[in-house]
Amino acid sequence: MSSSWGERIRLSIFGQSHSAAVGAVIEGLPAGFRVDMERLDAFMKRRAPGGPLATPRREDDRIEFLSGLAGGRLCGSPLCLIIRNADARPGDYSEFRDVPRPGHADYTSSVKYGGFQDASGGGHFSGRLTAPLTAAGGVCLQILEAREIFVGAHLRSVGGVEDCAFDAVSVSRADFDARLFSPLTVLDAAAGARMAAAIEGARAAGDSLGGVVECAAAGLPAGLGEPMFGGLENRIASLVFGIPAVKGVEFGSGFAAAAMRGSEHNDPFALRDGTVVTATNNAGGILGGISTGMPLIFRAAFKPTPSIARAQRTLSLSAMQLTELNIKGRHDPCVAVRAVPAVEAAAAVALCDALLPGNYEPLKGAE
């Protein structure tokens, strides 16, 4: 099924934007690992709605664990969690069964499911489904950190306004700790202020902005991943593309590599304290689908929020006539803002899937 993913670990996402709850089931996580609930709650708050640059929808995003934990530790059975939808307003979306919103899955889901889809808030196609993904990834982030592997992301750009980039050769946990989180996740405060102003300007004009999220993983050993269809890029990209509004993913120098020569793009091998490294990292830490031991770097491009206050042209499907649509409801002026932890979460799940063996090594969290 399209809502399930993974090999060594198995992640399934369920729920709709305005159903009673959304949730996830994760299988294959290491028994005995103690989950830090306070850290997980703080991670969820980074994605939660509300705030000056987000939708006014109010959701606590509090995780309820139904199974998989005993005494605060993973117990080996499937970890099942739910996040209740407390501020649902399905009535805001009733007209979209007949008048599909441009840029949304209203039309395609209607064709796919014969009109029986849940149209409220986009149903199972909604960004609300990134809440359980973030929760699952938050647990995986802690498992990775117990192995000295750290994942972090920031807003690389919004509406053409750019933040500093991670240093692809030397990015480390210290860079993640130095990020700012209010109101935007950035490395440079001045860039964050310009991004916030751009978002406010778009919202005041009844419009929205897109953005790019840059993510890195530091501390990965060399040798993770598989050739062909099991490569690290494949695993990560397939999960990141499950985040609504993602329209592109690139690793390392990405599309810029197409304009480079081989002599520019190739990363020369070198030794650092007896360890094989590369002098540059245009490969983004992956060669042949397998980790090189250098930092893993990728970026995800998010389209502008399709629900905007401006009038838009669409069709009445019942009348098969052109009509004008004025969208009401509550929407983010830039979905990339709250997507930063979701990108981190997707990367963490993919890396856990590549890393965890059948017989788990002792973890710091299990001591």
For the chain, give every domain's residue range: 4-366
Query: DSSP label at 27?
Result: E
SS in 3 state form for 286-297? EECCEECCCCEE
331 among annotated binding-site residues: no
* C-alpha separations of 230 from 39, 238, 282, 353, 356 in Å: 31, 11, 21, 11, 15
Q: Taking Cα atoms as reference points, which of 131, 100, 115 lies closest to residue 23?
A: 131
Whether domain 4-366 has CATH 3.30.390.50: no
304 among annotated binding-site residues: yes
pLDDT of residue 359: 34
pLDDT of residue 98: 81
pLDDT of residue 94: 63
330 among annotated binding-site residues: yes
112 among annotated binding-site residues: no
124 among annotated binding-site residues: yes
Place of tokens 């934990």: 69
| Cross-strand pairs, 23 | 14, 82
| pLDDT tens-place values along the chain, 367 residues long | 589 999 899 999 999 877 889 999 999 999 999 999 999 999 999 998 766 787 666 667 899 999 999 999 999 999 999 999 886 565 556 677 788 888 888 888 888 888 778 776 677 888 889 999 999 999 999 999 999 999 999 999 999 999 999 999 999 999 999 999 988 999 999 999 999 999 999 999 999 999 999 999 999 999 999 999 999 999 999 999 999 999 999 999 999 999 999 999 999 999 999 999 999 999 999 999 999 999 999 999 999 988 878 888 988 888 899 988 887 766 789 999 999 999 999 999 999 999 986 433 444 554 4
Calculate helix-pair angle for 336-355, 37-47, nearest 10 degrees.
Answer: 140
100 among annotated binding-site residues: no
| Residue 127 CA from chain centroid, whole number | 10
77 among annotated binding-site residues: no
pTM, full prediction = 0.93
pLDDT of residue 325: 81
pLDDT of residue 87: 64
59 close to 86: Cβ distance less than 8 angstroms:
yes
306 among annotated binding-site residues: yes
pLDDT of residue 362: 44
134 among annotated binding-site residues: no
pLDDT of residue 358: 42
291 among annotated binding-site residues: no
288 among annotated binding-site residues: yes
**C-alpha triplet 11, 12, 13: angle, nearest 5°:** 125
**For residue 304, cis peptide bond before it (omega within 30 degrees of 0):** no
38: exposed, middle or buried (Cβ count in 10 Å: 0-12, 13-18, 19+) = exposed
